[in-house]
Structure 1
Amino acid sequence: MLAVLLPVLAYYLGSICSAIVVCRLWHLPDPRSEGSENPGTTNVYRIGGKWPALATFSFDMLKGLLPVLLAVSMEQPEIVVALCGVCACLGHIFPLFFSFKGGKAVATGFGVVLALEWLIGAFLILVWLGIMKKIRISSIAAIITVSLAPILAWLIQSPWFMSMTLMSCTIVLRHLPNIRRLWEGSELKA
């Protein structure tokens, strides 16, 4: 029963769009109709600044971290733990509460990786921050960073290699429009 309930719960938690909630709390425009029109941390930063963006990032990260930690604490099999992480990301990308139109799941993915392999997760966040500080293009930082997750998992022989690979591929595929804009030279900076 828990093997089904926990991934479903992870999906529902992932479906809470923190960018929209934070923008409402800060009396900012809806991120789906401003800036890049993506309900994520970078767009919240564009329309509201550092503090709303930090709140969005933190909540999105918790959406990935908490369901995975819950599954681990309940001593669920690895497949259930992995499904909780993937379902949290899918909830963020295809949120039930917002017509299945969500963000890119980068911060949610960071939360999942932190729960599975905290050293890899912490390293990835630092890499993402470093790239963002240097070039200020969120999509490049995200694609590079999430692509490192399965490589690092493979190098340390983590049991979560396949989970991180699936999650990373999903997030990179979600960035296909960004990749197109990067190719055309029209991608927005943060």
Structure 2
Amino acid sequence: MSEAVLTVSLIIAAYLAGSISSAVLVCRLRGLPDPRTDGSGNPGATNVLRIGGATAAAMVLIFDMLKGALPAYLAFRLGVDAVSLGLIAIAACLGHIFPIFFHFKGGKGVATAFGAMAPIGEDLALSLIGTWIVLVLICRYSSLAAIITAILAPIYTWYFDDRFTIPVAMLSVLIVIRHRDNIHRLLNGEESRISRKKRQPK
């Protein structure tokens, strides 16, 4: 198989894997409201935390990260070049954002993007997770924590393993663009703070 065919095949596979909406599936399995129409309307771990509690949110977070980590790790093991690796990781994120299996209505792609970055190394993974947690504890805005962590991610990557700075930067740009509405709400003081309390059913 030629390198181009391999890359295209991995891009398609990554998109399809990303299109599996864990937020929707977990909510269905646990009898929770559809995260696409309840809470913030974003089918991601943060919204599932709001409507279903920490356990459901953790399940979504882990699966969403795996959707990014597995295609990226497989591509790395197959010797794909850095730019193609970035495209494959972005394909997984685009699958999460525009899932073909769920009417193209998906989440922000943050967990999937960070999952795609995680196989680069434990140091990077811990730095990303630690940065996000500290920022959430300080500001209580999941979106702001994600944006700042995404901006810092290429810097961390350059420090730990500069071979992957370009693909990580590609993912970071996607995350920031995806949060453009959140940025406007943050600037206008209208963004919702994260809550660990499970919303009571009506």
- Relative to the length of structure 2, the TM-score reads 0.89
* Pick aligned residue for 2:13 from 9, 17, 21: 9
Structure 2: which amino acid aligns with 1:14?
G
Provide the C-alpha distance between the structure 2 equivalents of 1:78 and 1:153, rounded to a whole number of angstroms: 13
Q: For residues 1-190 of structure 1, what are the structure 2 equivalents within 5 Å?
A: 1-156=5-160, 158-190=162-194
Equivalent position SS for 1:160: helix
Cross-structure match for 2:197: none
Provide the C-alpha distance between the structure 2 equivalents of 1:79 and 1:178, rounded to a whole number of angstroms: 28
- Relative to the length of structure 1, the TM-score reads 0.94
Structure 2: which amino acid aligns with 1:187?
E
CA RMSD of aligned residues (A): 1.4
The question of whether the paired residues in 1 share the 8 Å contact of 2:86 and 2:170 is answered with: no
Listed one character per residue, the Cα deviations across residues 133-188 of structure 1 (whole Å, up to 9, x for unaligned) are 23221011100111111122233451111111111011111101111111111111
Runs of 4+ deviating beyond 4 Å: none
The question of whether the paired residues in 2 share the 8 Å contact of 1:137 and 1:189 is answered with: yes
The question of whether the paired residues in 1 share the 8 Å contact of 2:44 and 2:60 is answered with: yes
Tell me which moved more, 60-69 or 114-123. 114-123
Provide the C-alpha distance between the structure 1 equivalents of 2:182 and 2:121, rounded to a whole number of angstroms: 28
Listed one character per residue, the Cα deviations across residues 21-61 of structure 1 (whole Å, up to 9, x for unaligned) are 11111110000111110011110000001000000000000
Question: How far did residue 85 of structure 1 move?
Answer: 1.1
Provide the C-alpha distance between the structure 2 equivalents of 1:85 and 1:12, rounded to a whole number of angstroms: 12
Equivalent position SS for 1:111: helix
Listed one character per residue, the Cα deviations across residues 47-85 of structure 1 (whole Å, up to 9, x for unaligned) are 001000000000000000001111122233333332221
Provide the C-alpha distance between the structure 2 equivalents of 1:123 and 1:183, rounded to a whole number of angstroms: 26
Question: How far did residue 116 of structure 1 move?
Answer: 2.5
Provide the C-alpha distance between the structure 2 equivalents of 1:36 and 1:189, rounded to a whole number of angstroms: 11
Question: How far did residue 127 of structure 1 move?
Answer: 1.1
The question of whether the paired residues in 2 share the 8 Å contact of 1:68 and 1:116 is answered with: no
- Percentage identity across aligned positions? 47
The structure having more radius of gyration, on CA atoms, is: 2
The question of whether the paired residues in 2 share the 8 Å contact of 1:147 and 1:168 is answered with: yes
Provide the C-alpha distance between the structure 2 equivalents of 1:148 and 1:77, rounded to a whole number of angstroms: 23
Tell me which moved more, 176-185 or 54-63. 176-185
Provide the C-alpha distance between the structure 2 equivalents of 1:156 and 1:126, rounded to a whole number of angstroms: 15
